[in-house]
Amino acid sequence: MVLMAPARCCVPGERLCSLEDCAPGYGTYCKHGYVFSSLSGYVVKRSDNGMMPVISVVRDTDSHLLPDVGATVTCKVMSINPRFAKVQIMYVGATVLKNTFRGTIRKEDIRATEKDKVEVYKSFRPGDVVVAKVISLGDAQSNYLLTTAENELGVVVAHSEAGATMVPISWCEMQCPKTHIKEPRKVARVQPEFLNVTT
């Protein structure tokens, strides 16, 4: 994770830079080849391994905590399809973000082994709370690319169809305490520092 110092203040509709110089991030939009601010706030610019910088606008200095490559994040699964899960990043480490960020967990980034056998719907379901790691700042739509391909990463909170919080019974299954029905998940081995975030 990284704390960024504000470069300057901006207002909605202010032209920030050319699309040739930066990719648009949170709080921005594109028009006629330029990136404009959609918020009043501070301009933050980040680059990832020599790639084109991503320019974002955050509302105040407390929001300058942004997910960075290598950061462990807690997110909520919003939707799934056969190729990836779309998530909303809510925490960096144990720190709550004032503005949520969008993330994607691709099928090939779910598990470290037997990647060809991974099925997204057997790993995550909408509503699941997942601990993941940022592997890339992603594309121009400000989607962070995340991975759960470590034992400590994966689903930490999931609810069954009966509405109960499910209990992990193995690295790939959780069980409803009410109905005792088992459901497949990519289960995380939760570390102590994340217990207060997920409970």
Q: Domains (ranges, CATH) in the chain?
A: 2-58 (2.40.50.100), 72-192 (2.40.50.140)
Q: What's residue 148's pLDDT?
A: 96
Nearest to 85 by CA among 122, 137, 44, 39: 122
For residue 138 the two structure tokens come to 């992603």
Amino acid at position 91, single letter? Y
pTM: 0.66
| Beta strand segments in the chain, E | 2-3, 9-10, 15-18, 23-24, 28-31, 34-37, 41-46, 54-58, 65-66, 72-80, 84-92, 95-106, 129-136, 144-147, 154-157, 167-170, 173-175, 182-184
Asked if 158 and 145 touch (Cβ cutoff 8 Å), the reply is: no
The span from the CA of 145 to the CA of 173, in Å, is 24
Residues of the chain with pLDDT under 70: 1-7, 48-50, 59-65, 138-142, 190-199
Q: What's residue 62's pLDDT?
A: 47
**What single DSSP character describes residue 82?**
S
Q: What's residue 115's pLDDT?
A: 80
The angle subtended at Cα 77 by Cα 72 and Cα 78, nearest 5°, is: 135
The mean predicted confidence, pLDDT, of the chain is: 83
The tens digit of pLDDT for each residue in 52-92 reads 788 888 766 544 567 778 889 999 999 999 999 999 998 88
For residue 34 the two structure tokens come to 């330029």
Q: What's residue 199's pLDDT?
A: 44
